[in-house]
Structure 1
């Protein structure tokens, strides 16, 4: 009787595990389209935020369709390639050599003229950080910035995704007076840098701040030839 009892218990547990797994798989499959949709909306909101345009989950599609007037893919030589800029995964592109990368560009119509939006991605203290930088038509002056992160510390590194930090980037320059790429210095307290290339780092979030600084330099370097072609 004990053997039969044990067999029954094992079979019952196995059947329950299979049933629960099947239910969870079904729920996951049912929710996946909405999850994909939510990510698309969030991405559109982030791109719009980088050009200082507020949007909601309800109106992001409409505003994005109106304001984003062009999008395309380039390589690190600045040449245009075939492809869909919106679906480019920068994480996957960064795993390639620079010569193989496909880089997205978005053109946005604003009340202040045409702006160019460039996605950026790097590493903070606890994981990936990413964002979008918009440039004026001079391909040098930052018009707006929007950053996000996966797991930075609240009140410290997570401050990169707050408005006070992002607003510092408005009007900053990424090329120096000689036309050489300088990028942006996310400065520690007391660190000297030209004012037009400097923003204040996050107190207590030095590693995240420097990770963001490196992210900008790395990705601006990849876009450098494109920016120079557009300027000329």
Structure 2
């Protein structure tokens, strides 16, 4: 039997209400699980800048035992905020003027029983060839030597710029120095690849073939964020 137009419209509206309600319920029900997944991923990345993690590791336990966090401003002052450092959205802060941003700091202790901070981990954020790139850089407590670094991206080219996520590329930064004669110089990823080790200085790492613009984005991102944290680093050093 042929249905009237009004029946079809009402049926379609009813289905929209039912489906919309089910989707809303699903979103609410999954909200906590999604937040936990994001929290776990963030803590994995932070720890990944200073140590190797195995699939069997209890990331949350390791994090709780080895990481202390705080939030600072561009002047290096600790900011009293209701938002934990782990929940600061660096992508949103990136859209603000640096003087108005909140900057998370993660302090790593290699031994839970130790009082000494072995490394300071800070987020970095910028633009690659096609979209945003980000990561975490860990500096030893001399605020000069890179302990480790992790990168991620949204849309860099597979096999080219996307290689910034590869461990081999990231490990090139280990042990490099970001200061020279008391001044920030950062570490630069060179254009091209397979430069002889003896041809690179203490502030350079080998590049990625065919990914010059992504490398330029990494260089700009790293130097900018190390600069944003210089006031904080100087205060910790007592300068």
Q: Does the pair score TM above 0.5?
A: yes
Q: Which residue of 1 aligns with 2:21?
A: 22
Q: What does residue range 26-45 of structure 1 map to in structure 2 within 5 Å?
A: 26-45=25-44
Q: Cα distance, 1:7 vs. partner? A: 2.0
Alignment match, 2:158: 154
Matched residues in 1 for 2:144 and 2:125: separation?
A: 19
Measure how far apart 1:229 and its partner are. Answer: 2.7
* 1:228 alignment counterpart: 234
- Give the CA RMSD over aligned residues: 2.3
In the TM superposition, 1:2-151 aligns within 5 A as 5-56=4-55, 59-68=58-67, 70-83=68-81, 84-110=84-110, 114-151=118-155
**How far apart are residue 45 of structure 1 and its match?**
0.5
* CA separation of 1:28 and 1:212: change in aligned 2, threshold 3 A: same
**1:211 aligned to which of 217, 222, 234:** 217
Equivalent residue number for residue 192 of structure 2: 189
Q: List runs of 5+ in structure 2 lacking aligned partners.
A: none
SS of equivalent residue, structure 1 residue 167: helix
Task: Please give the secondary structure, in 1, of the residue aligned with 2:138.
Answer: strand
How far does the alpha carbon of each residue in 1:206-229 deviate from its partner, in whole angstroms, 9 at most, with x for none? 221111111111111111122223
Per-residue displacement from partner, 1:114-155 (whole Å, max 9, x unpaired)? 111111111112221111111111101000111111222221
SS in structure 1 of the partner of residue 173 of structure 2: coil
Separation in structure 2 between the aligned mates of residue 101 and residue 17 of structure 1, nearest angstrom:
41
Deviations 1:98-121 (A, max 9, x none): 222211111101269611111111
Name structure 1 gaps, 5 residues minimum: none
Cα distance, 1:49 vs structure 2: 0.5
Distance in 2 between residues matched to 1:185 and 1:48, nearest whole Å: 23
- Per the alignment, in what secondary structure is the counterpart of residue 144 of structure 1? strand
1:59-91 alpha-carbon deviations (Å, 9 max, x no partner): 1100101111x2111111112221322221112
TM-score (norm 2): 0.88
- Aligned-partner Cα distance in 2 for 1:151–1:30: 30
Aligned partners of 2:21 and 2:52: how far apart in 1? Answer: 43
> What's the TM-score once normalised by structure 1's chain length?
0.90
Which secondary structure state, in structure 2, belongs to the residue aligned with residue 213 of structure 1? helix
Query: Is the 1:41–1:57 Cα contact (8 Å) retained in structure 2?
Result: no
Q: Name the stretch that deviates more: 141-150 or 76-85.
A: 76-85
Distance of 2:131 and 2:170 partners within structure 1 = 19
Tell me how far apart the structure 2 counterparts of residues 105 and 56 of structure 1 sit (CA, whole Å): 25
